[in-house]
Amino acid sequence: MLIQNNVPLAPLTTLKVGGPAQYFVEAKTVAEVIEAVALGHSKNLPLFVLGGGSNLVISDAGWSGLVLRIAIPGMAERQEHGKIHFEVGAGEEWDNFVARAVARNCAGVECLSGIPGSVGGTPVQNVGAYGQEVADTIESVHALDLRENRERELSKDVCGFKYRTSIFNTTERGRFLILRVRYALQVGGTAHIAYADLKKHFFGWNEPPTLADTREAVRRIRASKGMLITPGDDNCRSAGSFFKNPVLSADSYEDLTKRATAKNLQVPSYPALDAQRKVSAAWLVEHSGFNRGYSAGRVGISSKHALAIVNRDQATASDVLALKDHIQQRVKDIWGIHLEPEPVFVGF
């Protein structure tokens, strides 16, 4: 196991901001993960687990402790009862797994194509897009339990998946290190075409789109919004969607619609959890004065997607947070809604 000192973390993230790690270890086996954890304990070092570096904002001071990058590889599969069960190492790139699943004609993750990051990060925030989320297909999560100092297999029900949350980022934050994830996908299943962007893309097709068609369409749509890592596209220096779509109670939604009506606007929304309403965070941002392409010095809003805060030119984490705070305050003042950030904040 190689232990490095003072390793810059910004190049390991999609946003490209943040200071160095005091200690850095890349673990490619479960044994190396366990060894790295023991090292951290022996030196009394705070531990941060780094995956693919997406959906992440690291402070300018970096991390005064141990950064552990879990790079466990591997994709194994077995077929049972009409489904293929994939066991995937936490270090595998997520989109590589999606490509493999689609190539095997397995439905369930095709709409999650093009999302950056590693497999190990997907259960943490219950990653989702275009009407699918990983909770739909996760069978279990194999993790190292730091509290009990042993490996454990956590079933889907134990993981507590909800909209962009799980036990891994709420009630049990910091307890588990994800090593592998098991997914159960439907062999020969139909593509999930539920969101407006996909329906528009396939409008007029004579045949139902295949899984491969859907994957290609999702990647193309994500690229058009700057949400696909594309060399040379400055809009890609981001942490992805920076704010969650707020889920409102009936009273809060009524208040929002009244405010919109007073401005001769209509709020786009769709039925969400229970009797609540999920509202477009992008709409709220754009109708608070932050149009696509908005600039605030070294940071700004993507020219392709209103929810992406982008690093325009050697921005700092402080620059990013200043714009985040500004957006949140304006949305609160105009619409009475507090936008919750989606990325993980490290070292603040």
How far is 223 from 134, CA to CA, in rounded Å? Answer: 21
Roughly what angle, to the nearest 10 degrees, separates helices 250-262 and 317-335?
80
Residues 6+ apart with CB under 8 A from 101: 84, 86, 108, 109, 110, 183, 185
Q: Strands 138-145 and 176-187, how do they pair?
A: antiparallel
Amino acid occupying residue 176: F
Q: Is 164 a catalytic residue?
A: yes
How far is 229 from 36, CA to CA, in rounded Å? Answer: 30
Write down the residue that tokens 């005064």 correspond to.
Answer: 64
Q: Is 342 a catalytic residue?
A: yes
In angstroms, what CA-CA distances link 105 with 46, 86, 88, 210, 218?
A: 43, 13, 17, 9, 16
Q: Which of 69, 164, 182, 277 is catalytic?
A: 164
Helix (H, G, I), strand (E, B) or coil at 37: helix
Residue 131's CB: how many other CB atoms inside 10 A? 13
* Burial class, 215, CB count within 10 angstroms (exposed 0-12 / middle 13-18 / buried 19+): buried
| Residue 86: half-sphere exposure toward Cβ, Cα within 13 Å | 29
How far is 213 from 221, CA to CA, in rounded Å? Answer: 12
Q: Strands 106-107 and 83-89, how do they pair?
A: unpaired
Q: Is 241 a catalytic residue?
A: yes
Residue 136 CA, chain-centre distance (Å), reads 15
Of 133, 148, 7, 128, nearest in space to 69 by CA: 7
At 66, which helix (H) or strand (E)?
strand 63-70
Q: Which of 140, 241, 288, 302 is catalytic?
A: 241
User: Cα torsion for 294, 300, 305, 311, to the nearest 10°?
Assistant: 160
Helix (H, G, I), strand (E, B) or coil at 110: helix
Report residue 316 as tokens: 């700092």
Active site amino acids: 164, 241, 342
